[in-house]
């Protein structure tokens, strides 16, 4: 078999035996455990570009890329150098640095709706804080969110959330008080009537969405659906909040709002903005952001927010993302999709893309919403993922996630992927 064939996973198995004794499920974030595809996790030794090497020496073409931050691939020399330079000057100060100003200016230049931003350490915190701000600004408490959308693990948004929760089919999570989600209303994604009815009945602080949802698999917005959200927010006095933690700086320099031309009031950012280190942010017009402390009264803080290493990695990442890079990533994604469709042949499979994102749904029908994603052949998908891993291709190990092709995925990586995909399809479907 080709490079990457899992000849042995003895070292991963041994680490996993130790891990489950000291880490819940053996991991620090659920999807890494690979339970959705019915196998044990692989422990990573190192990675470079588009390739990941596990502790047993097996090589994989990596389509997880840390779930989105690594748009330039693993261990990019310019990003590593930026981190090393920053680290040499001290790792954290708890006082402002020039890099934070430069990163905020860089984001504002790319995303015109973001005049100001506040950095956090995770997308979860950014979502939590954006909601606090929306509630403070509107004097309202209710939120509209979409089934299958994931906005991190904050209590109030763990209602019909996607990502790891979709995988585990938990309606929400034990430990989340009913009161925390009582103000969260759920509508199906792409359900225009549902949005009209909910916004007619309730006064929302925010309509919150992933403009290109990628945590129930990738399910792009239907024609004029985002425009409807903008229109209903304006008509009812709600803020429109785009969670661009995945789509931001990936679909285009200015994210989904640039690609679609629909402008939100607040934007939640993460993943790419930290260049592989922990960083995220929320931002919007000065009139809203100056409500945040200490400019305003809405309290929000963080010991490591705007961390110098993360800022340096984020700046290095963004500065390499010019128009040519976005054109290249979009073309690579389409080439990947075309090859996967060819490998699938006439099997009941939908390959869905946006620039830099892709999902292979095991479904005869196009997937429009969370119910459609849940109706996929999850067993077939799981078997296909296991067969890909055995052939040196590392897909996101869940039907409810997106593939993250990077600028490091070259022609040869794609050809290896197509060969593995064809063989895997032949084995399982
Ligand atoms: C990953 C993700 C988050 C949460 O970010 P963390 O850094 O994992 O807390 C929020 N929203 C979306 C859309 C995401 O994909």
Which has the closest alpha carbon to 311: 264, 359, 277?
277
**Residue nearest atom 6 in ligand 1 by C-alpha distance:** 123
pLDDT recorded at residue 178: 82
Residue to substitute in 68, 69, 70, 124 for testing ligand 1 pocket (most ligand atoms within 8 angstroms of CB): 124
Query: In angstroms, what is the span from residue 307 Cα to ligand 1's centroid?
Result: 18
Complete DSSP assignment for 235-255: HHTPEEEEE-TTTTTTTSTTH
Query: In angstroms, what is the span from residue 366 Cα to ligand 1's centroid?
Result: 25
Q: Give the DSSP H or E segment for 47.
A: strand 44-48
Query: In angstroms, what is the span from residue 72 Cα to ligand 1's centroid?
Result: 19
**Residue nearest atom 11 in ligand 1 by C-alpha distance:** 151
Question: What is the spatial distance between Cα 83 and Cα 75, in angstroms, rounded to a whole number?
Answer: 11
HSE-up (13 A, CA, CB side) for residue 201: 10
**Residue matched to tokens 């897909």:** 395
HSE-up (13 A, CA, CB side) for residue 292: 24
DSSP strands (E only) in 70-151:
116-120, 142-146
Query: In angstroms, what is the span from residue 91 Cα to ligand 1's centroid?
Result: 24
DSSP strands (E only) in 264-418:
266-269, 280-284, 350-354, 357-361, 393-394
Residue to substitute in 30, 129, 145, 151 for testing ligand 1 pocket (most ligand atoms within 8 angstroms of CB): 151
DSSP 43: P
pLDDT recorded at residue 160: 75
Six-digit token string for 302: 């963080």
The number of the ligand 1 atom at minimal distance from the alpha carbon of 121 is 7
Ligand 1 pocket, CB under 6 A: 122-124, 127, 150-152, 210, 215, 243, 245-246, 270, 280
**Residue nearest atom 14 in ligand 1 by C-alpha distance:** 245
Residue to substitute in 270, 280, 357, 370 for testing ligand 1 pocket (most ligand atoms within 8 angstroms of CB): 270
The number of the ligand 1 atom at minimal distance from the alpha carbon of 280 is 7
CB atoms within 10 A of CB 388: 27
Query: In angstroms, what is the span from residue 179 Cα to ligand 1's centroid?
Result: 23
The verdict on pTM exceeding 0.85 is yes
Question: What is the spatial distance between Cα 77 and Cα 69, in angstroms, rounded to a whole number?
Answer: 15
Question: What is each CA distance from 300 to 72, 79, 119, in whole angstroms?
Answer: 31, 29, 10
Check: CB of residue 369 under 8 Å from CB of residue 221.
no
Query: In angstroms, what is the span from residue 245 Cα to ligand 1's centroid?
Result: 6
| Residue 18 CB burial class (10 angstroms; 0-12, 13-18, ≥19) | exposed
Residues of the chain with pLDDT under 70: 1-7, 163-172
**Which tens digits make up the pLDDT trace of 346-371?**
999 999 999 999 999 999 999 999 99
**Residue nearest atom 10 in ligand 1 by C-alpha distance:** 151
Q: Give the DSSP H or E segment for 187.
A: strand 184-187
Catalytic positions are 150, 243, 271
Which has the closest alpha carbon to 111: 223, 267, 320, 340?
267
């Amino acid at each position: 078999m080709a490079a990457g064939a899992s000849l042995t996973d003895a070292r991963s198995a041994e680490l996993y035996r130790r891990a489950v004794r000291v880490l819940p499920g053996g991991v620090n974030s659920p999807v890494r455990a690979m339970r959705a595809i019915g196998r044990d996790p692989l422990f990573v030794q190192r990675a470079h570009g588009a390739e990941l090497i596990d502790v047993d020496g097996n090589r994989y073409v990596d389509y997880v890329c840390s779930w989105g931050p690594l748009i330039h691939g693993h261990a990019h020399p310019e990003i590593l150098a930026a981190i090393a330079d920053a680290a040499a000057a001290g790792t954290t100060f708890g006082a402002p640095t020039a890099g934070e100003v430069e990163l905020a200016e860089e984001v504002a230049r790319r995303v015109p709706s973001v005049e100001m931003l506040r950095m956090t350490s995770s997308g979860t915190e950014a979502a939590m804080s954006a909601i606090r701000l929306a509630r403070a600004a509107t004097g309202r408490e209710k939120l509209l969110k979409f089934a299958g959308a994931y906005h991190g693990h904050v209590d109030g948004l763990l209602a019909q959330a996607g990502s790891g929760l979709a995988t585990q089919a938990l309606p929400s999570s034990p430990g989340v008080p009913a009161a925390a989600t009582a103000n969260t209303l759920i509508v199906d994604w792409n359900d225009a009537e549902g949005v009209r009815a909910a916004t007619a009945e309730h006064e929302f602080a925010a309509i919150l969405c992933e403009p290109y949802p990628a945590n129930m698999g990738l399910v792009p917005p239907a024609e004029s659906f985002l425009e409807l959200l903008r229109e209903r927010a304006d008509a009812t006095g709600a803020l429109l909040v785009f969670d661009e933690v995945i789509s931001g700086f990936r679909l285009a320099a200015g994210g989904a709002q640039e690609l679609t031309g629909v402008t939100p009031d607040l934007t939640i950012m993460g993943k790419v903005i930290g260049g592989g280190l922990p960083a995220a942010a929320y931002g919007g017009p000065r009139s809203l952001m100056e409500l945040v402390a200490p400019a305003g009264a809405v309290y929000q803080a963080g010991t490591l927010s705007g961390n110098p290493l993360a800022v340096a990695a984020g700046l290095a990442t963004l500065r390499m993302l010019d128009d040519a890079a976005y054109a290249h990533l979009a073309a690579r994604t389409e080439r990947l999709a075309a090859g996967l469709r060819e490998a699938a042949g006439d099997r009941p499979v939908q390959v869905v893309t946006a620039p830099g994102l892709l999902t292979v749904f095991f479904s005869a029908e196009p997937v429009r919403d969370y119910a459609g994603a849940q109706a996929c052949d999850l067993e077939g998908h799981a078997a296909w993922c296991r067969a890909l891993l055995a052939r040196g291709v590392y897909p996101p190990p869940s039907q409810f996630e997106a593939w993250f092709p990077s600028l490091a995925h070259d022609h040869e990586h794609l050809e290896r992927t197509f060969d593995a995909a064809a063989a895997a399809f032949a084995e399982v479907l």
